[in-house]
A and B are shown apart, each in its own frame.
Chain A
Amino acid sequence: MTTADLSLSYEAAPTFSTPLRFFLTGPLFGLLAGAVLLFVPDLLGSRWTPGALALTHLIAVGFMLNIMFGALFQILPVVAGAAIPQARIVAGIVHVGLAAGAASLTWGLGAGSPPFLTAAVVLLGITFGVFLVAAWYGLRRTPIAQATPRDLRFALLGFGIAATLGMALAMILSGGLSLPLVTVVKLHVGWAWLGGSGLLLAATSWVVVPMFQITPNYPARLTRYWALLTCAALVAWSAAVLAGFSLLEFVLAIVLAALSGAFAITTLRLQTRSRRSVPDNTTRAFQLAMSCMIAGLLCIVAAHRFDHDVWPVVAGILILHGGFVTAIVGMLYKIVPFLAWLHLSQAGMKAPNMKKLQPDGPIRKHLIAHAAALAVLLVAALSGSTLVVRAAGVLVMLEFGLLFANLMRVLGAYRIARSA
């Protein structure tokens, strides 16, 4: 790659506020999720209850997508040498659209309100459309031969398919479309979990885990083929679901679980070879996340084998809250102080030490609250006790409150350094 190519690719690098607005909005949806558990404690009986659907989307759309989309505004230029064009304008549209769409969607699902579901379809349709087109455009100059830029493209495609299926579901529920609900739900979950979030987590991990956790690189064979195989298996699994070939669908679900497990186990093994003598908070978060992913995958297999409502709920808690949320906060605690440091340095200012921007103590408190919330959530799902669900709600509110406070602390340190 020549110097001229690079100049073109990062000329539109965004300001610090561009990703930060998403990072600060995400935890607010997490707080709402905690409030839902606290005030609607009978929702964990099945994954089909309106409360469970609302809760899932508060975390998946309200928290996870806010952080993932926000991170992409910076990951693309820093990691892939690409930049989303007109980042400030695109971020404004996506941020408002995502927040309003997530709120409308969760209210529509929780209250069973067709007008809110219809509004969510419009808002999230525009949001995804704008973001995916802009991000794809930003990636157009990046080398397709490199694993991260290539797999980021796969993830964008996966998010597009998951969002389209999600919008179809919202229209089915609001009475505007007639399609087989269970089939579309299955496809939506598969593509949202693996096609979008899973591929994005992997594409980011290829770079971020070795970079920040000081591990060897992922094996070249894994980074070269994992996303390709996962996409191919997802397409084949989708075809089996649509055709109603239940045995093939089960076999392909096992293949997908094995691929996810391979990613999680490889990450755990890399961490054991870290050059860091004592694991830091992010490494611990990733260890918890990968362990929860593996446990969640086993619960999915159990859900296929044993017909009981508790398995999908436990799998959902392990994968969403234990897996994705934990990995995301682990990455956030590296990305946010690094971006603060980078923007101060690029502005020619004396940047404080990373540990001063984001001290370890408050992160540890947050991760302890997060792990406690996860444990109590699992007990709540298994016991069915509304008292335990309420306790989980309080802990979920606490963990997201601490996350918000910790991110605000970095912003405060950044502002002080800027004004010094």
Chain B
Amino acid sequence: MKQVIDARGLEPPQPFELVMEAIADLRPGEGVKLLLDRMPYPLFRILDRDRYRYESRVRDDGVVEIDIVAP
């Protein structure tokens, strides 16, 4: 089952630190789901650089969901 990181309500940079720790442990093809209060644009930059695949969406309740898959 995919790991879910609920980083809502945390002060920056804690959400960033949590997700970086989580994705560092992923094996190729494995993924995590990240829940946030807002779109993490700086994180996308790092995910792109390190060739992670990701999809982001804003739920109806305003929560931002990001599925990240390791390269």
Of A57-65, A209-217, A358-366, the one with at least 4 CB within 8 A of chain B: A209-217
Closest to B48 in A: A7
Of A133-141, A261-269, A337-345, A384-392, the one with at least 4 CB within 8 A of chain B: A337-345
Residue numbers in A under 8 Å from B41 (CB-CB) = 6, 9-10, 77-81
- Is B18 interfacial (CB 8 A cutoff)? no
Closest chain-B Cβ to A245's Cβ sits at a distance in Å of 42
A234, B12: Cα distance in complex, Å: 35
Known: A6-B56, A80-B41, A342-B16. 8 other contacts (CB 8 A): A81-B39, A211-B11, A214-B9, A214-B10, A217-B62, A275-B9, A346-B46, A346-B49
A208, B9: Cα distance in complex, Å: 13
A217, B12: Cα distance in complex, Å: 15
Residue numbers in B under 8 Å from A6 (CB-CB) = 41, 44, 56
B1-52 residues with Cβ-Cβ distance < 8 A to A are 9-13, 16, 20, 37-39, 41-42, 44-46, 48-49
Closest chain-A Cβ to B36's Cβ sits at a distance in Å of 10
A1-35 residues with Cβ-Cβ distance < 8 A to B are 1, 3, 6-7, 9-10, 13
Q: A275-B9, A345-B16 are in contact. Are A207 and B45 (CB under 8 A)?
A: no
- Is B55 interfacial (CB 8 A cutoff)? yes
A107, B31: Cα distance in complex, Å: 60
Q: Which of B9, B42, B55, B56 contacts A342 (CB 8 A)?
A: B42
Residue numbers in A under 8 Å from B39 (CB-CB) = 1, 81
Is the Cβ of B13 less than 8 Å from the Cβ of A345? yes
A185-211 residues with Cβ-Cβ distance < 8 A to B are 207, 210-211
Is the Cβ of A211 less than 8 Å from the Cβ of B12? yes
A68, B44: Cα distance in complex, Å: 25
Question: Interface digits, B53-71 against A, CB 8 Å rule (1 contact, 0 not)?
Answer: 0111000001000000000
- Is A354 interfacial (CB 8 A cutoff)? yes
7 tightest A-B CB contacts, nearest first: A81-B41, A6-B44, A341-B13, A10-B41, A342-B42, A338-B12, A78-B42
Closest chain-A Cβ to B43's Cβ sits at a distance in Å of 10
Residue numbers in B under 8 Å from A77 (CB-CB) = 41-42
Residue numbers in B under 8 Å from A9 (CB-CB) = 41
Q: Which of B11, B38, B54 contacts A214 (CB 8 A)?
A: B11
A13, B46: Cα distance in complex, Å: 12
Residue numbers in A under 8 Å from B37 (CB-CB) = 210-211, 217
Is the Cβ of A13 less than 8 Å from the Cβ of B45? yes
Closest chain-A Cβ to B68's Cβ sits at a distance in Å of 11
Q: A13-B45, A81-B41 are in contact. Are A345 and B20 (CB under 8 A)?
A: yes
Residue numbers in A under 8 Å from B55 (CB-CB) = 3
A351, B46: Cα distance in complex, Å: 15
Is the Cβ of B42 less than 8 Å from the Cβ of A212? no
A207, B39: Cα distance in complex, Å: 11
Closest chain-B Cβ to A96's Cβ sits at a distance in Å of 28
A-B pairs with beta carbons under 8 Å apart, 20 shown: A1-B56, A7-B48, A9-B41, A10-B41, A10-B42, A13-B42, A77-B41, A78-B41, A78-B42, A80-B41, A81-B41, A211-B37, A217-B37, A217-B62, A338-B12, A341-B13, A345-B13, A345-B16, A346-B49, A351-B13
Closest chain-B Cβ to A310's Cβ sits at a distance in Å of 41
Closest to B55 in A: A3
Q: A77-B41, A207-B38, A211-B38 are in contact. Are A338 and B46 (CB under 8 A)?
A: no
Closest chain-B Cβ to A4's Cβ sits at a distance in Å of 10
Closest to A335 in B: B12
Residue numbers in A under 8 Å from B48 (CB-CB) = 7
